[in-house]
Structure 1
Amino acid sequence: MKKEYRVKDNKDFQAIFKKGKSFANRQLVIYYMKKKDQEHFRIGLSVGKKIGNAVVRNRIKRYLRQAFHELENDIEASYDMIIIARQPTKAMDFFEIKKSLTHLLSKERLLKRR
C-alpha cells in the first residue's frame, strides 16, 4: 500500500476516533471520517498484542492491506479509516478477512455504487 494511502500520525488517529463514526462486526471494527479535500482514501490498521505474537499480528495486517489493495477501485475516495482487528481474526484466512472487511464497508456505504 502506498504511503499516501496510510494514516500514520497519532493526531490523525485521535481525530478519527473522536470525530468519526464507527461500526463493527465480530471480526473487525471500523472508524471512519469524511475528508472533503482528499482525492483518495487513507487507512490505518491496529492489531493489539492480545491477538497474538508479532507473526500473527503482521499476517493479519498483511491480509488487511491486500484486501484494501484489491478493493481499491471500489472504495469511496474521500474517507479516512481505521481498522481494528478483534480476536477471531487470528484464526481467519485471507478470503474470510476480505469478506468481513467488504461486509463492513458495504454496511456503512463506503463502497461505490455500481
Structure 2
Amino acid sequence: MKKAYRVKKEADFQKVFHQGNSVANRQFVVYVLDKPDQSHFRVGISVGKKIGNAVMRNAVKRKIRQSLHELDEELKEDKDFLVIARKPAATMTTHQVKSSLRHVLRLAGMLK
C-alpha cells in the first residue's frame, strides 16, 4: 500500500481514534472518520503486544494489508480508518482475515 494511503502520524491516529465512530467484531475493531475533502482513503493498522511476539504481530499486519489491498476497489474514498487487531486474529488464515475485515467494514459503512 502506498504511503499516501496510510495514517502514519500519531496526531492523525489520535484524531481518528477520538473523533471517529467505532465498530467491532471478535477479531477486529475499526474506527472510521469522515474526511470529505480527501480523494482517497487512508488506513492505520495497530496490532498490540497481546497478539504475540514481533514475528506474529508482523504476520497479522501483512495479512491485514493484503486483505485491504484486495478490498481497495470496494472501499469508500473519503474516509480515514484504523484497523485494530484483537487476539483471535493471530490464528487466522489470510482468507479468514479478509472475510472478517469485509464483515466489520460493512458494519462500519466503509464498503461501497
- Per the shorter chain, which TM-score range? over 0.9
SS in 1 for 2:72: helix
Task: Report the more deviating stretch, 103-112 or 73-82.
Answer: 103-112
TM-fit CA distance, 1:4: 0.4
Alignment of 1:40 with 2:15, yes or no, is no
The number of aligned residues is 112
The equivalent of 2:83 in structure 1 is 83
- Structure 2 length as normaliser, TM-score? 0.98
Pairing 1:109–2:106 present: no
**Mean Cα deviation higher: 101-110 or 24-33:** 101-110
Amino-acid identity (%): 52
What 5-or-longer segments of structure 2 have no aligned partner?
A: none
> Offset of 1:50 from its aligned partner?
1.2
Contact 2:32-2:108 at 8 Å conserved across structures: no
Give the structure 2 partner of residue 2 of structure 1. Answer: 2
Matches within 5 A, 1:31-70: 31-70=31-70
1:17 CA displacement: 0.9
Alignment-derived partner of residue 21 in structure 1: 21
Structure 2 contact 30–108 (Cα < 8 Å) conserved: no
User: Counterpart of 2:93?
Assistant: 93
Amino acid at match of 2:43: I
Q: CA RMSD in A?
A: 0.6
CA shift for structure 1 position 8: 0.3
How many Å apart are 1:103 and its aligned residue?
A: 0.1
Q: CA deviation at 1:109?
A: 1.8
Runs (4 or more) in structure 1 with deviation over 3 Å come to none
Whole-angstrom distance in 1 between the partners of 2:11 and 2:106: 27
Quote how far apart the aligned CAs of 1:47 are: 0.3
Shift in Å at residue 108 of structure 1? 1.9
